[in-house]
Amino acid sequence: MSGDPKIAIRGLRKSFGSKHVLQGIDLDVGVGESLVVIGGSGTGKSVMLKCILGLLQPDAGSIRIDGSEVVGLSAGEREALMRKFGMLFQGSALFDSLAVWENVAFGLIQGRGLKRAAAREIALQKLAAVGLGADVAALRPAELSGGMQKRVALARAIAAEPEIIFFDEPTTGLDPIMADIINDLIIKCVKDLGATAISITHDMASTRKIADRVAMIHNGRIIWAGLKSEIDRSGNPYVDQFIHGRAEGPIRMEVRAR
Amino acid sequence: MTERNFLASVGRTFLDFLAVTGRIVVFALAAIFYALRPPYYPRLILRQMVDVGYYSLPVVGLTAVFTGMVLALQTYTGFSRFAAENAIANVVVLSVTRELGPVIAGLMVAGRIGAAIAAEIGTMRVTDQIDALTTLSTNPYRYLVAPRLIAGFTMVPLLVLVADIIGVFGGFLVSTYKLQFNAASYIQRTVDFLQTQDVAAGLAKAAVFGFIVALMGCYNGYHSRGGAQGVGAATTYAVVSSSILILVFDYVLTEAFFAR
């Protein structure tokens, strides 16, 4: 990574009661870079993402976007900062009371004050960019398949042409073919926008496809970060166990009989 | 030792109660703060008003008419022992406008609207839709909570106004058709006895009850956790807490308006 980072995280900590989820995360993401954060369930990937987005307040540490500190921003400043971000949620998080096009145009109408007609035009363009026709625009999210919902969520994430896009488990729950289609769409959309992307996933096929760089989180810390091409010779036993999906190794999953 | 454990438990419960009360007050103040600042959402407010007001009319109207009818019957049963049957019109109009109209309408709205608000916002919470709102530069208090509070505060008084009329009409029906009172003199007694203050106090109570129902629905939905079970629990808390608060505030407001 060269130049000043787009996102710089230092010493990020977050606990829920006695559970210390993030224990000092240090991470840089360069401008236009696609970083994939891998790690087991409950290791703090989603919590880290929510701290960057301001959905959770960190207990300690610093998060800088374009060199400016964003921890502790006021609600108004946070709303303005959100215009830089797009987010694809794991379960899509589409608004089920709104039509598909209204979901895609939501940020344009509510966040940027665009007229509904103009926002609808942009929404249709973005739906086309993710391979969905105008016939889908008037449907409700509940009428779509899981893969189509993911595409709509992707269209919503890129509708306002954000500088930074987050992808939370973008391929979870999809069949391998649809997962690959979503991966291709993510690569295309991120490159077209020239955006910086952070994805969190367990899916190594997805990681190998969409990442420029990979970081692994374990026990609330980044234990390895490097180029995608370096991941198979990281020399880190935790990374090796994770990318090969071995039950045996230094990572012990918590499995309790209930 | 047991005594100490008991006291500790009472203390903990009391502290929890204070903490929850504080959180609800902070939540309400935040919602009011954002409701007063642009951008406003007139379309959403109108939709909530239709949901709270128009669609609650049948259930509130039905309960009001039967409440008025039962009130007339029971008053007759009691008052006829003292040859005071003529006071039925007075008792019905006073009871309905001051107490039963607002309380019955408030409880019905708590069951119908409070539960719906908690379930809808709770589902949005557990499916990350509220987080999605935030990432789309939209304040959830302004977009979700404020329109519901405004609708509850403004529409429940209108519902109660209708409930008052229907409730008094229910008493009139029983008194004239079943108890053979003279219709003209019943109406005359109702009009003579009714004071503006009675109706106004009832409507003021209704505004407070509407706010409470919407607030408890929003608060419990907003803080629901853990999937379908969490949403179910939030719905239950919303209905139970708003029903209890309606009865508590009914006493407090009655004391404030009518205590001599």
Q: Where are the domains of chain B?
A: 44-258
Average pLDDT value for residue range A205-217: 93
Entry pTM: 0.88
Q: Does A216 touch chain B (CB under 8 A)?
A: no
Instruction: Give the residue, A102 or A172, on which the prediction is more confident.
Output: A102
Interface of A with B in 25-64 (CB under 8 A): 50, 53-55
CA distance A125 to A121: 6
Q: What is the DSSP letter of B12?
A: H
Q: What is the DSSP letter of A164?
A: E
pLDDT score, position A257: 45
pLDDT score, position B1: 58
Give residue A147's pLDDT band: very low, low, confident or very high (50, 70, 90): confident
Q: Which of B128, B129, B136 lies nearest to residue A111, judging by beta carbons? A: B136
Which residue type occupies A196? T
pLDDT score, position A258: 44
**Cβ contact B128–A90 (<8 Å):** yes
- β A7-16/A68-69 pair status: unpaired
Q: With contacts defined as CB-CB under 8 Å, which chain A residues touch B128?
A: 89-91, 93
Average pLDDT value for residue range A123-141: 91
pLDDT score, position A255: 52
pLDDT exceeds cutoff 60 at A190: yes
Q: Sheet harboring A60-65: ordered strands across? A: A19-29, A7-16, A60-65, A68-69
Q: Does A17 touch chain B (CB under 8 A)?
A: no
Asked, as a colleague might, if the bond just before B39 is cis with ω within 30 of 0, I would say yes
pLDDT score, position A50: 92
pLDDT score, position A1: 56
pLDDT score, position B100: 94
CA distance A200 to B52: 41
List Cα–Cα distances, B190 to B77, B82, B171, in angstroms. 19, 20, 10
pLDDT exceeds cutoff 90 at A192: no
| pLDDT tens for chain B, residues 1 to 260 | 577 788 999 999 999 999 999 999 999 999 999 888 888 889 999 999 999 999 999 999 999 999 999 999 999 988 888 878 888 999 999 999 999 999 999 999 999 999 999 999 999 999 999 999 999 989 999 999 999 999 999 999 999 999 999 999 999 999 999 998 999 999 999 999 899 999 999 999 999 999 999 999 999 999 999 889 999 999 999 999 999 999 999 999 999 988 76
Distance of CA B78 to the CA centre of its chain: 29
pLDDT score, position A41: 83
The interface predicted TM-score of the complex, written ipTM, equals 0.88
CA distance A46 to B107: 41
**Cβ contact A87–B127 (<8 Å):** no
Give residue A3's pLDDT band: very low, low, confident or very high (50, 70, 90): confident
CA distance B198 to B132: 46
pLDDT exceeds cutoff 60 at A254: no
Q: With contacts defined as CB-CB under 8 Å, which chain B residues touch A90?
A: 128
Measured from the Cβ of residue B99, the count of other Cβ atoms closer than 10 Å reads: 16
What confidence tens digit (pLDDT) does each residue in A7-32 have? 999 999 999 989 999 999 999 999 99
**Secondary structure element (H or E) that encloses residue A36, with its range:** strand A34-38
Give residue A230's pLDDT band: very low, low, confident or very high (50, 70, 90): very high
CB B173 within 8 A of CB B69: yes
Which one of A87, A109, A114 makes the best mutation probe of the B interface by having the most chain B beta carbons within 10 Å? A87
Residues, chain A, total?
A: 258
